[in-house]
Structure 1
Amino acid sequence: MRQLFVLALVLCSLSVSSKQTDLIEISDVWVRGVLPVQKTSAAYFKIKNHTSRELKLESVDSAFANHSMMHKTVESNGMASMEHVESLTLAPNQEIIFKPGGLHVMIMGLKSEFSEQQQLKLTFKFDDGTVKQVNAQVKHP
């Protein structure tokens, strides 16, 4: 009987976790195609928080690279530079767009070449423990 109770609790927690990821919409996901000698790329996407509470995106990881970090492009005195973004807070029902020349995920230490026909998996991690995996299309803009 106790085993059934524990199993029911586990299944309920999985159901809640699954519903949470459904309320985080990540769309238009793509990774910049690179030349074979390049070891750095970038990922872009739209992310929308459909929950009724604030969410904090802590990281976006990939198995096809050694390291990734969120950055934003800032302009000062006519010069563009990148600043590291430790985490990104999404208010309830807020949408944020990661795009070239703005917010983006730098993907560093690429482990292999990839082509435009490939789908690459990105893993989004949030401060509440929610993890969401999405496929990204490789594009050469």
Structure 2
Amino acid sequence: KEKSTYETKKFLENLEEMMGFPIHIVQVDNGHEFVNDNDKTSKESGFEKAAYNLGITIKRTRPYSPWQNGKIERSHREDGKVLYNRKVFTSEKDLINQVAKHERRYNSTAKISLKFKSPDEVVEEYFKNTSCYYEN
């Protein structure tokens, strides 16, 4: 997908429906796909306007402070090592399939930081303890 405020705005507008619970706050870096550069304009970006209209607070990280979003940075680094640096994709469809395979494998693997549970298990436990849980 394109990195633009239009694309991130569309994503944000559908996020609550996709997740099944209300979103109160999002933390973003100062990338142009989220916010406008304050040095160039005081206008809000499409993403910021959408967040305001949805009642979602935007928390911006400090510029040049990657440790404030370290989990995401680490995730990008690991994805790069495991997926992008090792593979040659023959088509966009192949890329999509390989990313999906990588996500399934990652989300079903136990992590020390999750007390030896997989991300899938943690999410399932979370939703079992909320009113939006249902069994298939």
Do they superpose with TM above 0.5?
A: no
Higher RCO structure (Cα 8 Å, ≥6 apart): 1
Q: Report the TM-score, using the length of structure 1 for normalisation.
A: 0.21
Q: Which is richer in helix?
A: 2
Q: Which is richer in strand?
A: 1
Q: Report the TM-score, using the length of structure 2 for normalisation.
A: 0.22
